[in-house]
Chains A and B, each alone.
Chain A
Amino acid sequence: MTAVVEADAVRSSIEACYENGWTDGLPVVPCTQELLDAFLAQTTLAPDEIVLEMPSLGRGCTVRMAAINAAMAGCLPEYFPVVLAAWESMRNEGYTAGIWQSTTGTAPVIVVNGSVRSRLGINSRGNVFGPGFRANATIGRAIRLTVLNVFGIKPHELDQSTQGTPAKFTCVIGENQEESPWPAFHEDAGFAAEDSAATVMTLRSAIHIEARHTADAQQLLADIAGTIARTGSLMFRTNSTCLVLSPEHAHLLASQGWSKASIAKHLYDTAVLTQDELDSVGKGAISTKQHWRLASDHADAVPDDLIGSDGRLHVLSGETAVQVVVAGSSNSGVSMVLDIFDLKNPKPSTISIDRYAAEAPAQPVDHDAVDASLTELSTLLSRDGFTASWEATPQGELTFTIGPGTAECADCLVPEPILAVMIGEALKGTGARLGKVLLPSSYPDASDG
């Protein structure tokens, strides 16, 4: 009966969030102060620090606001440093301007590297763009809920996406570093393989490459270049791309001598459109000021001097406009081309996740080892009539509680500071550390503690 009453209360609190207009259409987790505090405890940032400011809207999002929305998205508190690193990457990428409101209807794609993937369960293998993984599903959703709720950029209002993309709900992928033949994506930005890092790029669309038919690297690259060079994706002069290769495709290329850099150069060289092809779709020229693609006979058109004397346009802005990430399952010749919209910098911004994390546990908590390490101390206390119990948080912070005792042998007991040192010593190697000791009033010197 109790369970039924609580279920009704849960549902009504979820409905209250709907009534307030606080959702992306899916149910959210109502956030309480207690839940917010758990998120804020995960980071060294102060609650009032700004994670992203949008001057045109006169609004800035604080760590506190980002945390409430992350909680509502269904994140666990320990995901929060990833969310914060993503915000910094977006700040660097130019998300302070109007991209959230754009008719193009883009979504941030967040690429995660390093040990954080296994620690938080961020999927990098099969169904990497799909559902089934809490961290992938909720970290991206935390960003979108913040945009809706904090910046008030809502569909049919300030968000004027003509159609949008499903990626606007969430788009977080881990790189499958373990099955990649090359150094990891974040290693190219100077991180070590196990360092945890997040990189945001601006996704317009994700286009599937079916290439199960070939074992020839040149054929595969030609298939990919043809997809990148489609006329439909050209809005401005040139494009960028993030190639998300399946492990099978990555190994096919690597085994024939291709590195990520040589792939990028080859795709730049071969993703080409001719003047005739551009003219046939009315994109053979550019507008005077913002360089939107236009037909050559448009009133605002000027010739595009990027089209060479050979009448060819390199669709990619350069070799650096190609990012290569390995993700997905090692089970087929399927890859993805992400159309990337460059906002600000020629290269994406890769941000350390560890930098945002409050002192992270060096190792996962081994609860059996914690119990074993404290048994001796517990036995000692019981001789003096005290009971001892303890509990460790997932982050390894242990609360040691001493129950009321008779304290018949007050002199036998160690003072609280020494007890704390003893507990700390005992916990070494268990992944837990002492947070606090709770003492009963009958414990000697308890009033001092």
Chain B
Amino acid sequence: MTSSTILDPTYGACAEPNNKLAPRAFPPRGLRVGLLDNGKANAETILREMTRALSTSLDVASVHVHTKDDAGLTLDDEQLVEIREQCDFVLSAMGDCGSCSAATVADGILLERAGVPAVSICTEPFRASGDVMASLYGFPGYVYLTTPHPVASLSFDELVERVTTLVPQIRHIIGIAS
């Protein structure tokens, strides 16, 4: 019997490793906060409540909301440049579905590489999707925030309560100690 090689049907390796985070150097006053809203239900509300909670101990001067057209896609170059010019750090939500969890994690990595500290927020079941996406982007172990599922059906009061539990982790990832 002759032998022949079995061909590999895959795309091949993930992107080159690049674990680079943006530098954590913030002005002491007048912070400019970016909110990357993917349009999912409650996403903008929870991002605004997070900002409000952070404002009790940080001097937030301005809030810039960017809404994505398609939650399943990563932010485009134009948005990336605009956010980089505009914001000292970014909060990004809500990765609570298949494609949008992957995209939310990828957005965080893209922002960090562009020099903007970012907190990507997903719900817990989507950690698997987020972790694989981080590896695909050459950043296995990328740190993002997860919170119990669901978020989309929470009432406003429940959202406020949820935010309270998340603030210490947000500060930790951004690198601003309380």
Residues of A at under 8 Å CB distance from B?
5-6, 9, 13, 16-17, 20, 22, 30-34, 36, 55-59, 61, 65, 68-69, 72, 97-103, 145-146, 149-152, 156-161, 287, 289-290, 292, 294, 298-300
Identity of the chain A residue whose Cβ is nearest the Cβ of B98 in the assembled complex: A160
How far in angstroms is the closest Cβ of chain B from A283? 12
Interchain CB contact under 8 A, B103 and A56: yes
Which among A55, A68, A300 has the greatest number of chain B C-beta atoms within 10 A? A300
Q: Which of B5, B71, B133 contacts A290 (CB 8 A)?
A: B71
Chain A residue contacts of B41, Cβ below 8 A: 287, 290, 292, 294, 298, 300
A33-B4, A158-B98, A299-B155 given; A69·B9 CB < 8 A: yes
In the assembled complex, the CB of B128 is this many whole angstroms from the nearest CB of chain A, namely 6
Number of CB contacts from chain A to chain B under 8 A: 130
Q: Which of B5, B98, B136 contacts A103 (CB 8 A)?
A: B98
Q: Which B residues form the contact surface with A (CB < 8 A)? A: 1, 4-11, 15, 37, 39-42, 44-45, 67, 70-74, 97-103, 106, 125-126, 128-129, 132-133, 136-137, 152-153, 155-156, 159
CB contacts (< 8 Å) of B39 on chain A: these are 289-290
Task: Using A33-B7, A102-B97 as known contacts, say yes or no to A299 and B156 having CB atoms under 8 A apart.
Answer: yes
Given the known A-B contacts A156-B128, A158-B129, A160-B98, are A59 and B11 also in contact in the complex, defined by CB atoms under 8 Å?
yes
The residues of A that contact B40 with a CB separation of less than 8 Å are 289-290, 292
16 more A-B residue pairs beyond the given contacts A160-B97, A287-B41, with a C-beta to C-beta distance below 8 A: A6-B1, A33-B4, A36-B7, A56-B99, A56-B102, A97-B70, A98-B99, A101-B99, A102-B72, A102-B98, A152-B136, A156-B128, A157-B132, A158-B129, A160-B98, A289-B37
The chain A residue with its CB closest to the CB of B40 is A290
List 8 A-B residue pairs with CB atoms under 8 Å apart, sorted by A's residue number.
Answer: A56-B103, A57-B102, A98-B71, A99-B99, A151-B11, A158-B132, A160-B99, A299-B45
Known: A290-B41, A300-B45. Is A98-B102 also a contact (CB below 8 A)? yes
Contact of A22 with B10 in the complex, beta carbons under 8 Å = yes
